């Protein structure tokens, strides 16, 4: 499919492609962060987005390099809805390598939004304006994953605060330049420290305490390990002192049953409602 296959429409002052309905924003969280995303940042996004999607929360971000792109991509991968807010017109793909992601978002009932005319080019001054829209559209608040000392993500957080929105931040390594901003938000009391999606959506438990029905043997052992933390097949095998082949085969069966899900090589317990 091509981008032109999706019609541009108008909602109040916003141009958009995709399916605009109020449900998409009813439970929505803006997730922003550094364009220089680290491996730690990627793992944080994966952990949060997996559980947010499992609880029907829409993600919103700015479609740029790094954390933005990772948020949109992981949401799509997990079958969720995501809203990308552009700092240019809807006919302009920026960054250009996100063209495939642009289409995937629309195919998954997501939205591409912009306040600019469809052919408007990106300019530096437009991105702070875009940040204001990102902050405005969210209902649950803004989650900052990684942010340097003068990161644009801090601008989004500041705009959201002025709108009375809640700010959340994931703490990062104290020796990481892209965690200076997030750690300062927490230290100054401007953001609530969060370590899981549960801290944001206020549900008793994202993963129910009951074990899945008819779970026994190696499936049970793997499930218990993955409830503690996400691991790849090699790490699971080492933890359980089992062969990688045996573990891999069992994981495939558990994936088919909907007990676990895989992303980036790591396996996670699947939310069961």
Reduced to 3 DSSP states, what percent helix, strand and coil does the chain have, rounded to the nearest 5?
A: 45, 15, 40
Residues 26-79: tens digit of each pLDDT: 999 999 988 888 999 999 999 999 999 988 999 999 999 899 999 999 999 999
pLDDT tens digits for the chain (273 residues)?
888 889 999 998 899 999 898 889 999 999 998 888 899 999 999 999 999 998 899 999 999 989 999 999 999 999 999 999 998 999 999 999 999 999 999 999 999 999 999 999 988 777 778 889 999 999 999 999 988 887 878 889 998 999 999 999 999 988 888 889 899 999 999 999 999 898 998 744 444 444 445 678 899 999 888 887 788 899 999 999 999 999 999 998 888 777 887 766 788 876 544
Per-residue pLDDT at 203? 46
Domain that holds residue 76: 11-201
2 occurs within a structural domain: no
Residue-level pLDDT at 25 = 92
Given 144, 173, 201, the domain boundary residue is 201
Residues 191 and 225 in one domain: no
Residues with Cβ within 8 Å of residue 100, at least 6 apart in sequence: none
| pLDDT value of residue 211 | 47
Are residues 243 and 142 located together in one domain of the fold?
Answer: no
Q: How far apart are CA 151 and CA 167, in angstroms?
A: 15
Measuring CA to CA, which residue among 252, 243, 244, 245 is closest to residue 219?
A: 252
- Determine, yes or no, domain membership for 207: no
Q: Is residue 140 a part of any domain in this protein?
A: yes
Residue 136 belongs to a domain: yes
For 255-265, write each residue's pLDDT tens digit. 877 788 776 67
Q: How far apart are CA 162 and CA 160, in angstroms?
A: 5
- For residue 82, what is the domain's CATH number? 3.40.50.450
Name the domain count of the chain.
Answer: 2
Residue 143 inside a domain? The answer is yes
H or E segment at 250?
helix 244-257
92/180 same-domain check: yes
Q: Is residue 72 part of a domain?
A: yes
Of 201, 232, 250, at which residue does a domain stop? Answer: 201
Position 127 in a domain: yes
Residues 193 and 256 in one domain: no
Co-location of 85 and 181 in the same domain = yes
Give domain status of residue 96, yes or no: yes
């Amino acid at each position: 499919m091509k981008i032109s296959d999706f019609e541009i429409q108008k909602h109040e002052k916003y141009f958009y492609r995709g399916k605009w309905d109020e449900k998409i924003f009813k439970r929505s969280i803006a997730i922003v962060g550094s364009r220089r995303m680290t491996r730690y940042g990627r793992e944080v996004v994966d952990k949060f987005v997996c559980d947010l999607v499992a609880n029907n929360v829409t993600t919103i971000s700015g479609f740029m390099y790094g954390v933005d792109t990772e948020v949109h991509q992981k949401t799509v991968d997990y079958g969720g809805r995501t809203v990308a807010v552009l700092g240019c017109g809807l006919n302009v793909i920026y960054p250009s390598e996100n063209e495939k992601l642009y289409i995937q978002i629309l195919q998954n009932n997501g939205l591409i939004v912009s306040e600019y005319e469809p052919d408007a080019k990106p300019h530096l001054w437009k991105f702070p304006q875009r940040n204001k829209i990102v902050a405005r559209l969210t209902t649950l608040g803004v989650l900052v994953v990684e942010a340097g000392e003068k990161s644009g993500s801090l601008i989004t957080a500041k705009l959201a605060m002025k709108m009375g929105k809640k700010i959340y931040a994931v703490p990062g390594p104290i020796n990481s330049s892209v965690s200076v901003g997030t750690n300062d938000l927490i230290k100054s009391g401007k953001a609530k420290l969060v370590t899981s999606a549960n801290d944001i959506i206020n549900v008793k438990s994202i993963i129910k305490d009951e074990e899945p029905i008819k779970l026994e043997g190696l499936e049970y052992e793997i499930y218990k390990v993955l409830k503690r933390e996400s691991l790849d097949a090699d790490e699971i095998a080492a933890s359980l002192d089992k062969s990688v082949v045996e573990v891999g085969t069992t994981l495939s069966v558990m994936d088919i049953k909907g007990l676990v899900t895989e992303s980036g090589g790591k396996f996670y317990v699947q939310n069961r409602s």
